[in-house]
Amino acid sequence: SIGASLIYTARGAATAAFIPKAYAWDLAAGALILQQAGGELRYLSGRGVDLEELLDGRLTPEPILAGERGVVEGLVGKISLRDY
């Protein structure tokens, strides 16, 4: 699950998490725990994730990377979406 992936990342059991799409309620608890552990969530474009933007029930506009700041910064730009 998304929450479990974020918590594994927060506790250091995973280096980072890739979340293709999610709703605010999928992210909220895990994001809080990750942020309290010093991590962050960013879209693949590098823009920070603001859960308030999703409170109207929309899916995330693009995939998310989650982890420690340095790890996430290192992954942004190295992962790209393919068109099928």
What's the longest Cα–Cα distance across the chain?
37
Domain ranges in the chain are 2-75
Alpha-carbon distance of 45 to 35, in angstroms, equals 19
CATH of domain 2-75: 3.40.190.80
Please state, in angstroms and rounded to a whole number, the distance separating the CA atoms of residues 64 and 13.
Answer: 18
* Cross-strand pairs, 68: 39
pLDDT tens track for 34-44? 999 999 999 99
pLDDT digits (tens, 9 = 90+) for 13-62: 999 999 999 999 999 999 999 999 999 999 999 999 999 999 999 999 99
pTM equals 0.89
Cα separation of 81 and 55, whole Å?
A: 25
